[in-house]
Amino acid sequence: MTATDTAAPARTPALPIPPRPRQVAARAAATIVTIVVLVSFWGLDLEWSKIAQLPQDLVHYGRLMFSDPDWSMLPEAALQTWRSVSMAWIGAIAGVVLSTLLGIPAAHGVGPAWVRFPLRWSFAVIRAVPDVLIAIIILTVTGLTPFTGALALAIGGIGTHAKWTYETIEAVPPGTAEAVRASGGSLWEVVRWGLWPVAAPELMSLALYRFEINVRTSAILGLIGVGGIGAMLTQYTQHREWDVVGVLIIVVVVVTMLIDAVSGKVRRRIMEGATVRDVERKH
């Protein structure tokens, strides 16, 4: 063994420790959020004594509503709930159809820029307007009718559902669309044969989800007098007939849960079928 073999290996010079990243921006953002939250509480003019009393009040009114509900109002509650569901269904169908027709041209790679940007801007404006405000604007023309609620749900749903539509179209893998385009297909044929077959399951699932949202929103719209279970809830709450209010709440909860369960099962079935078709296509 030579002296060279027994020599100790040369030491690697220690690397300098990198400086700790500055977190000024994160701390500034956290400070701003904290200030906004504190100012929000201050602006609400909260009475902390009433907040402390809230659990006891909830128990009190819960006992008034559910200890002895007035089941004689069940048929009327079911009828008004059906009207709310009808508003939601009609609003969902009209909104989904319009959203699909307007959302597809707003997708990148489908519509030109001079079409996409105005459509997306319009969708953003509609999303910024609450459904209740849309209904108040519409009722000046159509009056306090269930049709007003359905129309408000249809228009209000366009902002969100059209956004879902063009995002779904943009997420479609480009292979099929490029094949149709390469074979000389027109824009309509690219959409019909290249994009729609892949995006349809997701769009149908979103349409059912839109219906679920409309069912809940229709009850809120009823509070301004367009009919349905919301109008009935407003009437009996104002008259403090808590036994009737209890029945109405029970009907709303049961019907909403049933619709959510059925709709969720159908949506899962649609998406599972789409997954199976994708696997079969790959093999």
Q: Mean of the pLDDT values across residues 75-83?
A: 89
State how far the Cα of 92 lies from the Cα of 76, in Å rounded to an integer: 24
CA nearest to 154, candidates 90, 247, 198, 102: 90
Which range has the worst mean pLDDT, 119-128, 175-184, 260-269?
Answer: 175-184
Confirm if 169 and 195 have CB atoms less than 8 A apart: yes
Q: pLDDT band for 274, please (50, 70, 90 cuts).
A: low
Instruction: Look at 44 and 87; give whichever has higher pLDDT.
Output: 87
Pick the CATH number of 69-282 from 3.30.2130.10, 1.10.3720.10, 1.10.10.10, 3.40.50.620: 1.10.3720.10
Q: pLDDT band for 277, please (50, 70, 90 cuts).
A: low
Q: Mean of the pLDDT values across residues 215-244?
A: 84
Each domain of the chain, given as residue ranges in start order, spans 24-50, 69-282
pLDDT at position 12 is 61
- The conformation of residue 71, written as its DSSP 8-state character, comes to G
Per-residue CA distances from 242 to 60, 68, 70, 173, 216 (Å): 11, 9, 9, 55, 21
Burial of 20 (0-12, 13-18, 19+ CB in 10 A): exposed
Tell me the percentage of the chain whose pLDDT exceeds 70.
87
**Residue 48, Cβ neighbours under 10 Å: how many?**
7
